[in-house]
Structure 1
Amino acid sequence: MAHKPTPTSDAKSAHAALLDSEVSRRRLLGMAAVGTAGAAAAGIIGADAAHAGNNGNRGPGRNDAHRRRLTVLGTTDLHGNVFNWDYFKDDEYTDSAGNDIGLAKISTLVSAMRAERGERTTLLLDAGDTIQGTPLAYYYAKIDPITGGHVHPMAAAMNAIGYDAAAMGNHEFNYGLDTLATFVDQLDFPLLCANAVDDFTGEPAYEPYVIHTVRPRGARPIKVGILGLVTPGVAIWDKANVEGILHFPGLVEQAQVFVPQMKARGADIVIVSAHSGADTSSSYGDALPYPENAATLVAEQVPDIDAILVGHAHSEIIERFVTNTATGKQVLLTEPLRWGMRLSVMDLDLVQERGRWHVESAHSHLLNANSVPEDPAIVEILTADHETVRDYVNSVVGTNLTAMSAQTSRYEDTAAMDFINHVQSDAVTRALAGTPEADLPVLSIAAPFNRDASIPAGDVTVRDVAGMYIFDNTLLAITLTGAEVLAYLEQSAAYFKQVTGTGPFAPDDVTNAVTPTAPNGTPDYNYDIMGGFTAPLTYDIDIAQAPGSRIVGLSYDGAPIDPAQRFVIAINNYRQSGGGNFPGVVSAPVVYNAQVEIRQLIIDWVTAIGQIDSSVFAATDWRLVANGAPVIIQA
């Protein structure tokens, strides 16, 4: 099924007609005349209709020279999504919540908001993670890289929509600094990052902030300072790309440096675009001295910030206020979920006193992308790129004898996870030939981070394989002892909730346990399944026991594991560099690191072998038990 652009012969005319239609305007914006029920139907989340639809420059008392409303629109974690399209399914995107995705829909919402609020007093920002996450993004980073001259689809779309500024996300660094530099050059707006610091100069390597002058009619210009910050986790997750070149101080520390600079340069209003979650936590534990998610800390500890557009956590925050401890001022936070599912709308009502503007009151709400059609102008610009990538992901690279699915991989041993571990182990074993580690037994880890991943029987395409491994992680190998393997598996087993009895349980009854470092539940990507290559690694996970005492009968090649035995572990760069804070990993010797993406390794393996035969690698090597008896899971 092809992507179907909005039928039109003139994209601009169609778009203008959409905005000129009073019915459409009310459906999109939830104007006061529509009422609260109408606003809900229009996709407005978390605001009463009167507030959502009121134009601050037209309401009572708002049209004098000393009061204005500034509207700041925001997206985050777009992750390479232009269209409402799932490349792994080769069909329109859909999920159980009825969400739509992509910049083409965001463009429609943005245009409508500019028409309602006034283009002069409306800004559009993004909070990072833009150029990674879909085959569309991968293709123009690796297959036809933008360093060769092709304009990145995300740059083309964001330029056409007219972003005013964006922050870098941690995934901007995935493809190396050359690709990032090219992307920065292709943008018509600044890509900001105050806490990516050049190791040699000690100064930010990228533009830390911009001061944008807003010129409302009949009033003094408003100077809006926009500061970009990224989670310090880049130093861990993309160490191979940044080590020795860039370092990443904390968000609070850098905001304390640059917010005063912005104010000194005349910024009336300060907005932070922070690729860092609101709820303070770190997936890497204490591996860095700065927290991964620190947006709330920035609001609390750094004076003179008016609002923060939050990213990274893929959460939906409609409106949250945080009190600055030094000034008592309320700082507005909002986060528009991910992938272009939502558009944040921050309304800052300003008053001018002694020649400077300040925020008198602030509110925010979200607009839902599923309430609007795609912008025909964006569709027209990027359909050719989209179709090129569809052709790429649908190309056949081999055959599969037996269908494999990852659907149940988080609670039972599956061929799908065994397949990933087999390919990783094979690559490491071949790479270590002739080295001192060549005779060590090889183990491998894989996480069930895509429950929808499957490879059908018959022809296997690039998208089948890409769906099995959706992240752009690279493969490394480290060495651990048998004792360290046990400790690693114990931490992984903390993913499970403690139970009494053997069930039957629903999957959610036993998975995604809440822990001190995962207050919202341990994500699937932090549950690792470990398997052997030339000989099996076998173990039970007893979830009737407390975390730390769950791994039972750990054996290698049929014998209890020797705590002193050295093993080579095939592992991804995210995990090896501290992601998930697994014990012993960061300090473990690295014996292989060729910077090859695991997804591409799997594609290359299938292409070279030509056939996937699960009987070669699939076996039941681990199981869930409760006090030694098998746990029953019924999906």
Structure 2
Amino acid sequence: MDHKALSAHQAMLGTEVSRRRLLQLAALSVAGTALTGAPAHAAPPADKHTYRLTVLGTTDTHGNVFNWDYFKDAEYTDSANNDIGLAKISTLVAAMREERGAENCLLLDAGDTIQGTPLSYYYAKIDPITGGHVHPMAAAMNAIGYDAAAMGNHEFNYGLDVLDTFDRQLNFPLLCANAVDWHTDEPVYQPYSLHTVNPEGGRKITVGVLGLVTPGVAIWDKAVVDGKVRFPGIVEQAKVFVPQMRAAGADIVIVSCHSGPNTSSSYGDALPYPENASTLLAEEVPGIDAILVGHAHLEIPQRFVTNKQTGKQVLLSEPLRWGMRLTVMDLDLVKVRGRWQVAAMGAHLLNANTVPEDPAIAAILTGDHATVRRYVNSVIGTSAAAMSAATARYEDTAAMDFVNHVQSAEVARALAGTPEAALPILSISAPFNKDATVPAGAVTVRDVAGMYIFDNTLLGIVLTGEQVRAYLEFSARYFKQVTGAGPFAPADVTNAVTDTAPNGTPDYNYDTMAGYTERLTYDIDIAHPVGARIKNLRYGDDLIDPAQRFVIAINNYRQSGGGNFPGVTTAPVVYNAQREIRQLIIDWVSEQGQIDPSSFSTTDWKLTANDVPVVIQA
């Protein structure tokens, strides 16, 4: 695949609808907002001392090129009627370049690019790009013509060799100022880039782009980076590099920051730097004009933050996720005493669901798309009964029991013949994908992969019974406190706001736990306050012994501190083959040939309110 050969086709839309009309539709679907001091879409002033720079941005594209759901093998759809993918983004970008002038636009990305779909997984693990294949995201982004991108935490998921190969395949810089060598503290990757725009009748304008990633990489991908790469704080590194960029000639500084806007950390105080620090960055580091925000998967057309030192406004925008939105930042510049500076600025979002896919992008990746569809649709076994994760957030399901069974079986197999083989095994799982289903009858790769949509690997750690209880109490923070047994809608009891989850606890941070050879049973009494909810916790027929030791099958995200669950980061590790859980499930089905839910599924936990079972009606 020659991803460079299509540069002549980048602007091709293949549609009779005009670009200008497409932009009108896209802007209407996601309300824009006004510039501070100028209308949001006013024509740039035609004066050699004034200039409008347009910065376009995406983030958290997560391996999405096409408007396609590989787990359903169908066009992507959701309740908000969103569309996804870089092919749609390409149409919006081409239209913006035509309207504003390509020479006046910069296109940036804020990270999490090469993980998240079977398309990206296939070319990291099944036919890895280290063997020479160009990554589909590299091919698409090169063809669209990105100017720079920041690394996201998920760029590190597949190891440094895959990341370095992806970096080499790009025709633009992949930036990360706060990934530094373990021993020298020097940046491992290019920290920033300088871009020149040249308005007619005026001198050149230099725009600096700084890339930063959430320090959580140190926790979530510890097995990949430990001893090799460290991750200092976002604010701390920006204080080093923003002055360097200004000294190097940057008139304007844009930060592409893979870190959410609302200061918080899913890992609590496990690191001295916050996970989500974009607002802090704007407040604490002078010299930044605008920040393209990523990581949090939020839709923020524009937000202004005042820098504490200078009193100047910093513009923030976050374009949701998966290519659903395109950020459009307009910066009106004026030349003052020979230097360009921002006089007014504003941002709005364009909606990908208002435009067709760019056929040029689709064309270069049709083969990759077809290859991955064949892979995910290959039959690997059968199931004696259907399983669904639709209700797994609030009731015990066979779907989660299946994940726990496979994880436990793998840990038991690996520990055979070791001193830990005599310890009872428990397993944790989270409802990652409420749309996941395994049908009765033939089962394909995509059916199984839908049960586990993240690329986590499996570990075995040792906890005591007392620590098991503490873990479950912490997990039960996911539920809102109630005064009766309902009936409730799911949203009435799930996704509680906590000190580390100001937007509500995500589903992936709610874990259930199950036994392997004996049942682990418990009630979660959500009429009680956080910390006093786990009732009737038993292993087998007996109340759990606080001193008893258990091996816990757990994923690397959780074990390394993701979610800040207690006890896990310091617990002894007895198994860590770095095997991906999704692939373990696929292999288990391939080897066994049949899934029989009756052999592993029992109702082991339930929600109660003052000992009365809670009724939830979806």
Question: How high is the TM-score relative to the length of structure 2?
Answer: 0.97
Contiguous gaps of at least 5 residues in structure 2: 1-6
- Aligned counterpart for 2:478 among listed residues 495, 498, 501: 495
Deviation readout 1:551-580 (Å, 9 max, x if unpaired): 001000110000000000000000000000
Q: 1:45 corresponds to which residue?
A: 31
| 1:196-345 matched pairs, under 5 angstroms | 196-345=179-328
Q: 1:595 corresponds to which residue?
A: 578
Q: 1:6 corresponds to which residue?
A: none
Contact 1:39 1:48 in 2 (8 A): no
For the structure 1 residues 46 and 90, does the alpha-carbon distance in structure 2 shift closer, same or farther, using more than 3 Å as the test?
same
The residue identity in structure 1 corresponding to 2:18 is S
Q: Quote how far apart the aligned CAs of 1:507 are.
A: 0.8
- Aligned counterpart for 1:378 among listed residues 319, 336, 361: 361
Q: Quote how far apart the aligned CAs of 1:14 are.
A: 8.8
| 1:16-165 matched pairs, under 5 angstroms | 18=15, 24-30=18-24, 41=28, 43-47=29-33, 51-56=39-44, 62-165=45-148
The residue identity in structure 2 corresponding to 1:200 is H
Contact 1:276 1:312 in 2 (8 A): yes
Q: 1:511 corresponds to which residue?
A: 494
SS in 1 for 2:12: helix
Q: How far apart in 1 are the matches of 2:62 and 2:11?
A: 28
For the structure 1 residues 40 and 155, does the alpha-carbon distance in structure 2 shift closer, same or farther, using more than 3 Å as the test?
closer
Q: How far apart in 1 are the matches of 2:12 and 2:32?
A: 27
Alignment of 1:15 onto 2:1: no
Contact 1:12 1:376 in 2 (8 A): no
Q: 1:33 corresponds to which residue?
A: none
| 1:555-594 matched pairs, under 5 angstroms | 555-594=538-577
- Aligned counterpart for 1:351 among listed residues 319, 331, 334: 334
- Aligned counterpart for 2:420 among listed residues 433, 437, 442: 437
Contact 1:29 1:52 in 2 (8 A): no
For the structure 1 residues 40 and 180, does the alpha-carbon distance in structure 2 shift closer, same or farther, using more than 3 Å as the test?
closer
Q: 2:522 corresponds to which residue?
A: 539
Deviation readout 1:49-72 (Å, 9 max, x if unpaired): 99454331xxxxx11111000000
The residue identity in structure 2 corresponding to 1:270 is V
Contact 1:170 1:231 in 2 (8 A): yes
Contact 1:29 1:53 in 2 (8 A): no
Compute the RMSD of aligned alpha carbons: 1.5
Greater mean deviation of Cα atoms: 375-384 or 213-222: 213-222
SS in 2 for 1:583: coil
Q: Quote how far apart the aligned CAs of 1:13 are.
A: 10
Q: 1:34 corresponds to which residue?
A: none
The residue identity in structure 1 corresponding to 2:82 is N
Question: How high is the TM-score relative to the length of structure 1?
Answer: 0.94
Q: 1:192 corresponds to which residue?
A: 175
Q: Quote how far apart the aligned CAs of 1:26 are.
A: 3.2
SS in 2 for 1:45: coil
Deviation readout 1:378-423 (Å, 9 max, x if unpaired): 0110011000000000000000000000000010000000000000
Q: 1:3 corresponds to which residue?
A: none
Contact 1:194 1:208 in 2 (8 A): yes
The residue identity in structure 1 corresponding to 2:577 is A
Contiguous gaps of at least 5 residues in structure 1: 1-9, 31-37, 57-61
For the structure 1 residues 397 and 478, does the alpha-carbon distance in structure 2 shift closer, same or farther, using more than 3 Å as the test?
same
Contact 2:20 2:99 in 1 (8 A): no
Q: Quote how far apart the aligned CAs of 1:217 are.
A: 2.0
The residue identity in structure 1 corresponding to 2:540 is D
Deviation readout 1:128-156 (Å, 9 max, x if unpaired): 00000000000000000000000000000
Q: 2:614 corresponds to which residue?
A: 631
SS in 2 for 1:362: strand
Contact 1:476 1:572 in 2 (8 A): yes
Runs ≥4 residues deviating over 6 A: none
Contact 2:425 2:515 in 1 (8 A): yes
SS in 2 for 1:595: coil
Q: How far apart in 1 are the matches of 2:55 and 2:68?
A: 27
